[in-house]
Structure 1
Amino acid sequence: MKNNQVKYAVIVAGGSGVRMGGEVAKQFLPIGGLPVLMHTLQVFYDYDTDLNLILVLPNSQFDYWEKLCVEYNFNVPHQLIQGGASRFGSVKNGLNSIPDNEAGLVAIHDGVRPFVSEKVIHESYLTAAKEGSAIAVVDLKDSIRKVKANGSSQFKNRDEFRLVQTPQTFQLARIKSAFLTEEKPYFTDDATVYENMGWEVRLIMGNRENIKLTTPEDLSYASFLLAEKGKII
């Protein structure tokens, strides 16, 4: 199926960097000579230069981000949108910045996942165009057990579970409709908001390198990945 629909990508970056142990928010920490967030925006731009990129940040970080863009001569075109009080609110603000009469597809992606592959991005748009949604996941490698309230545990078949990543890509009209609901505690990602409408979530295979940079160890791994790709500046 050939897909000529208008494509958006909402990149959400609202982390405080607490688990990184520093004062600088994790999305701004440098890897390979550039802040993490610039690597993330770049991979979507490299996939499709006509992609409409929407970056959602806390309002308090706007000035800092704009200074970084000047400092690093970062010219990837994007629209800057103020984040909300939660991830749900931030995604909703990003979606609301898209005109209501606009048709097309939107990928929602964590700003601190800079190693998503262009192949996964492409497959997410392709599948969402056909099925309504496309959620990137990877298989579990380790055995898993369910911990019970009394401290005991029970074996679970890992083949029945997947680790969820982003992008999570949707037909635009559907996901905007889904985000009209009130935020609920079990909305852990965009797929659960979509599923809340009674719609089936479609899974696609992600790439294992597409980790969410959260701890100092993740930054070390990120530097290793960039060195392998020859992108250390």
Structure 2
Amino acid sequence: MKYYAIIVAGGSGSRMQSAIPKQFLELNGLPIIMHTIKAFYQWPLVPKIIVVMHPDYHKFWKKLCADYKFTVPHKLIEGGKTRFESVKKGLSMIEDDGLVAIHDAVRPIISTDLLINTFKMAEELGNAIPVIKCRDSIRKLQDGISIGLDREQYFLVQTPQCFQVKLINEAYKQEYKAEFTDDASVVEAMGVKINLTEGDSKNIKITFPEDLRYAESLLK
């Protein structure tokens, strides 16, 4: 079985109040994205790692790799204008077999168990999406009125989202739609059942300054 990991690194630093995209911010001595790449590389079944990044930051990334002596093997390619386009470009770099995990660059804390479980389920069932249960009560605002919802019926979706390569390649032949919020939604649009696996509460997406501080504490 061939394994691949596409790491999408197209985020900006707007909500982090940063001058550089958040994936390049330092976390415990390394840029966030380097932690993310290392997590996949340290997995026993090392996947071929593809990093999809806006071309404006390729030179900057290469300098970071030199400055931090970062030598984990990976292929750097240009991203598109949207996440959909970026993932599609990443998929074009891999052969039409095996399993692929598509992951956010700013989720640097990935456990080996999470990787094993998602890849294993994707191998057996075609796809695997890690989710965690909602801990808080949920309300929906509709026409100015808040409505209480049953939190047991709702889950928070994470990455890596894993797929059989042939399945995800077929899904990305579709035209882009606004409702494609992640890779699972692209596959689901073909009428394919999405399989949920247990995620990890530590697998946070670093979006705001407080997320960075929390991630630092988790890594320590």
TM-score category (smaller protein): over 0.9
How far the C-alpha of 1:226 sits from its partner, in A, is 1.4
Q: 2:162 aligns with which of 163, 169, 184?
A: 169
Q: Given the alignment of the two structures, is residue 147 of structure 1 paired with residue 141 of structure 2, yes or no?
A: yes
User: Could you tell me which residue of structure 1 aligns to residue 126 of structure 2?
Assistant: 132
Separation in 2 of the partners of 1:161 and 1:80?
36
Letter in 2 for 1:186: E
Separation in 2 of the partners of 1:54 and 1:78?
6
Letter in 2 for 1:154: I
TM-score by length of 2: 0.98
User: CA deviation digits over 1:169-206, x for unaligned, max 9?
Assistant: 00000000100111100000000000011100000001
User: Could you tell me which residue of structure 2 aligns to residue 231 of structure 1?
Assistant: none
Q: Given the alignment of the two structures, is residue 108 of structure 1 paired with residue 102 of structure 2, yes or no?
A: yes
Separation in 2 of the partners of 1:48 and 1:7?
11
How far the C-alpha of 1:223 sits from its partner, in A, is 1.1
Separation in 1 of the partners of 2:53 and 2:26?
17
Counting only pairs closer than 5 Å after superposition, residues 6-25 of structure 1 correspond to structure 2 as 6-25=2-21
Separation in 1 of the partners of 2:142 and 2:58?
44
How far the C-alpha of 1:85 sits from its partner, in A, is 0.4
User: Could you tell me which residue of structure 2 aligns to residue 80 of structure 1?
Assistant: 76
Could you list the runs of 4 or more consecutive aligned residues of structure 1 that deviate by over 4 angstroms after TM superposition? none
Separation in 2 of the partners of 1:137 and 1:50?
23
Structure 2 unmatched ranges of 5 or more: none
TM-score by length of 1: 0.93
Separation in 2 of the partners of 1:190 and 1:42?
22
How far the C-alpha of 1:48 sits from its partner, in A, is 3.3
3-state DSSP class of the match of 2:136?
coil
Q: 1:123 aligns with which of 117, 121, 134?
A: 117
Structure 1 unmatched ranges of 5 or more: 228-233
Separation in 1 of the partners of 2:44 and 2:21?
27
Over the matched positions of the two proteins, sequence identity in percent amounts to 48
Q: 2:55 aligns with which of 56, 59, 73?
A: 59
- Count of residue correspondences: 220
3-state DSSP class of the match of 1:153?
strand
Separation in 2 of the partners of 1:154 and 1:214?
27
Letter in 2 for 1:146: K
Separation in 2 of the partners of 1:153 and 1:19?
27
Q: Given the alignment of the two structures, is residue 196 of structure 1 paired with residue 196 of structure 2, yes or no?
A: no
User: CA deviation digits over 1:108-162, x for unaligned, max 9?
Assistant: 000000012111011111000000000010000000011112x111111000010
